[in-house]
Amino acid sequence: MQWRQACRLGDVAPESARVVLIGETAVLIVRSAGACFASSPKCPHLGMSLENGEVEGGSVRCRSHGYKMDLASGECLTERGLRLEVYRTELRDGWIWVELA
C-alpha cells in the first residue's frame, strides 16, 4: 500500500464528490460529515458513476438506481451483499491523500 496525493481539500466542496485520477486509478473523493472519504467511483450495483450522487451524512446515493453506500465501511445501506471499495484518507497541509495498492 502506498499513500498518494489526490487533490487539495478546497477542490471538493462540503457534501459533494469529485472523481480524480491518481496515476491510472480513478478515485471518488467525497467531503461529508466533516470528513474526507475515498472510494471506487462506480456503484457496485451496475457500475454507474457515483460522481453526481447525492452526498449526505457520510454516504453517497447512486442517482441511477438509488443504492446508498456508507463511505467509511463501503457497505451498501439499501441492499445487502453489495460493497463499495473504499480507501483510507489523510489530510496533510491542505491536501487529501489516499492509500492505494
What is the pTM (predicted TM-score) of this model?
Answer: 0.96
pLDDT tens digits, one per residue of 27-84: 999 999 999 999 999 999 999 999 999 999 999 999 999 999 999 999 999 999 999 9
The CA distances from residue 97 to 18, 39, 47, 52, 84, in Å, are 14, 12, 24, 21, 19
CATH class assigned to 2-100 = mainly beta
Beta strands per DSSP E along the chain? 2-8, 16-22, 25-32, 35-39, 54-56, 59-61, 68-70, 86-87, 89-92, 95-100
Neighbour count for residue 56 (Cβ, 10 Å): 12
C-alpha span between 85 and 82 (Å, rounded): 10
